[in-house]
Amino acid sequence: MLILDGVKVAQQWCLEQKRAGKSIGLVPTMGYLHQGHLSLVQEARQQCDVVVVSIFVNPIQFGVGEDFETYPRDLSRDQALLEEEAVDALFAPLISDMYPPGYNSFVEVGGEITAKLCGASRPGHFKGVATVVSKLFNICLPDKAFFGQKDAQQVMVIEKMVRELNFPLQIVRVPIVREEDGLAKSSRNVYLDEEQRRQALVLNQALREAEMHVQQGERNVARLKEIMRKVIASSPQAVIDYIDIYDAADLGDMEQVDRKALMALAVKFGNTRLIDNRLVEV
């Protein structure tokens, strides 16, 4: 696996792959890789000639008091995992590579899609995401970029950015990977103590319960949200950030589940904030 040392080196190498007629698949990550990330790598390997993985804990998508400083990092471990997956190149820039002194250019996706869910509780988060992802696209020149459905709102924001700014690439969504007990894979799961880890199972349980009620004929969004709220309330340590149901296409408001919907939630256990979601159709 080639280590791309610096922005110019990475961009030049990717340009050479394009000139050789090879398709590039990019998997952007913040590292501390788990099976969810590796599922993106495996999908990229299936669809593209060359697979590039980026590892960069992006400071500008973290708010004041969030976990940027303590976010789990282990580049050697990540590199070994990527080598096992036969990744072609790893791009792991320094903060100074991505945001040199005087840096002051940002990408911001407006509208409802960034104003709700994580956008409401983490102001500026998606401005940071859109900026770093657009930079990674310009550096790594992918034909396809692979993102996990667990970060459903993030994928929707990036899809909108790609569409409206005419980036010449395709965004590929890959399904959520879960632990055997249903907890969605996340780098932040390592923060949970044993009891918090057990209680965190209510996230997936709440989504499954609401989906079951949809399948049984319940369509009222308010009642479905209350069903999820009651399940999560069974966990004493759970502190709800949001529980919402929106149109899966654009995060538009809905009072009835009469089309494809995104059920999404964010819950804190101690200092650890977890997100999960489920798509439902009628």
Query: Please, are residues 128 and 157 in contact by the beta-carbon 8 Å criterion?
Result: no
- 125 catalytic per annotation: no
d(CA 43, CA 145): 10
CA proximity to 15, closest of 4, 29, 31: 4
- Name the residue type at position 140: C
Q: Which residues contact 169 (CB under 8 A, 6 or more apart)?
A: 137, 142, 143, 144, 145, 162
φ/ψ of residue 60, rounded to 5? -80, 0
End-to-end Cα, the chain, rounded Å: 45
d(CA 18, CA 128): 28
* Active site positions, annotated: 37
